[in-house]
């Protein structure tokens, strides 16, 4: 893989029936996840948990890439194999989260910008040496009556574009993630409007920074009703609105969209992905890059108990399989019933 060009790597990440596992939780986020099952967030417990994920037999059939955290890309299995090597043995491409998280935007109440450009060129070079083949940077856009402002969107778009250009310079495929949050009371129409505006400004910035579209991936949110909106859009409406929005603003040159789960339930997000692929009105691959939506059942099954590792890995394998089916529009809820009965 070392001699492959970026376009080839990007296409492999969105290969038919496969998607990305986001295992790039920051220290506070992984602490929250482990705490939910009564496990302390020590380095060894984090390493053990990630080992459960990465050594799941047959995972490579459904997972094309894994986004790692700075700590994780340097870790090894209990028997001394680097996590990067373990993933590559399953034909899974290692990736890396490179942003430093979001901070409040000065003078813009309720809005955030993402930090991490300082020293990024050097960090990207190191991650490439450690075996990463793609990178990820997340921007966060909130919705309310008064936000987002144009300035917040433009600032985050500029940061995403600079990150993407630096990634391609370092021989890494940039995964560009402008997430319009579903938190709030807004309608699906309002979410559509903001998602379209954000994507339009992001692609303008990418063009200005001469980012090669064929050698990047977009990690967008699905277009949804706000979490607290009285009227919740149904599965078909979410699929149709999301594709209509993406078709308006995402260039066909981009190889694929790897949707984030963004607070949706495990089953809900799979149903939405499935419905989009059944519509098939898209010039790009419609794939996934899920974190919690793939991992929640794993944590629930594991509970920090070594005797539950096999159950935890079965849970991950099942969710990855279901989302693989959704990539072909062939997922059914009966697949969940069969799993429950097994």
Q: Active-site positions?
A: 177, 219
How far apart CA 35 and CA 43 sit, in angstroms, is 14
Report which of 263, 312, 254 is spatially closest to residue 287, judged by C-alpha positions: 254
As a whole number of Å, the end-to-end CA separation of the chain is 38
CA 127 to chain centre: 18
The DSSP string of 155-216 is HHHHHHHHHHHHHHHTT-EEEEEEEE---SS--HHHHHHHHHHHHHHHHHHHHHTT--GGG-
How far apart CA 142 and CA 312 sit, in angstroms, is 34
Q: Could you tell me which residues are beta bridge partners of residue 173?
A: 134
The backbone torsions φ and ψ at residue 114, rounded to the nearest 5 degrees and listed phi first, read -100, 135
Q: Is the Cβ–Cβ distance between 131 and 73 less than 8 Å?
A: yes
Q: Is the Cβ–Cβ distance between 275 and 239 less than 8 Å?
A: yes
- Helix/strand/coil for 96: strand
Q: Could you tell me which residues are beta bridge partners of residue 3?
A: none
The backbone torsions φ and ψ at residue 75, rounded to the nearest 5 degrees and listed phi first, read -90, 170
How far apart CA 323 and CA 325 sit, in angstroms, is 5
**C-alpha distances in angstroms, 224 versus 36, 137, 194, 237?**
27, 22, 11, 9
């Amino acid at each position: 893989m070392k001699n492959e060009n970026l376009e080839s790597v990007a296409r492999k990440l969105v290969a038919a029936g496969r998607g990305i596992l986001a295992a790039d939780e920051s220290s506070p986020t992984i602490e929250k996840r482990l705490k939910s099952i009564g496990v302390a967030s020590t380095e060894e417990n984090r390493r053990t948990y990630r080992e459960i994920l990465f050594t799941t037999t047959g995972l490579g059939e459904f997972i094309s890439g894994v986004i790692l955290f700075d700590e994780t890309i340097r870790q090894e299995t209990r028997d001394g194999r680097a996590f990067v090597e373990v993933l590559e043995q399953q034909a899974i491409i290692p990736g890396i989260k490179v942003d430093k998280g979001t901070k409040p935007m000065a003078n813009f109440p309720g809005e955030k910008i993402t930090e991490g450009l300082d020293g990024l060129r050097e960090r990207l070079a190191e991650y490439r040496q450690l075996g990463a083949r793609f990178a990820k940077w997340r921007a966060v856009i909130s919705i309310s009556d008064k936000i987002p402002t144009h300035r917040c969107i433009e600032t985050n778009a500029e940061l995403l574009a600079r990150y993407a250009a630096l990634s391609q310079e370092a021989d890494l495929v940039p995964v560009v993630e402008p997430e319009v949050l579903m938190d709030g009371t807004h309608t699906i129409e309002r979410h559509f409007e903001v998602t379209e505006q954000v994507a339009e400004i992001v692609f303008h910035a990418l063009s200005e920074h001469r980012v090669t579209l064929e050698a990047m991936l977009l990690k967008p949110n699905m277009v949804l009703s706000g979490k607290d909106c009285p009227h919740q859009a149904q599965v078909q409406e979410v699929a149709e609105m999301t594709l209509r929005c993406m078709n308006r603003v995402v260039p066909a040159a981009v190889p694929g969209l790897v949707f984030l789960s963004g607070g949706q339930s495990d089953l809900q997000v799979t149903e939405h992905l499935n419905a989009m692929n059944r519509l098939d009105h898209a010039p790009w691959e419609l794939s996934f890059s899920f974190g919690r939506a793939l991992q929640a059942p794993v944590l629930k099954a594991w509970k920090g108990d070594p005797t539950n590792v096999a159950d935890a890995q079965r849970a991950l394998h099942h969710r990855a399989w279901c989302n693989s089916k959704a990539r072909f529009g062939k997922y059914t809820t009966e697949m969940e019933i069969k799993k429950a009965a097994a």
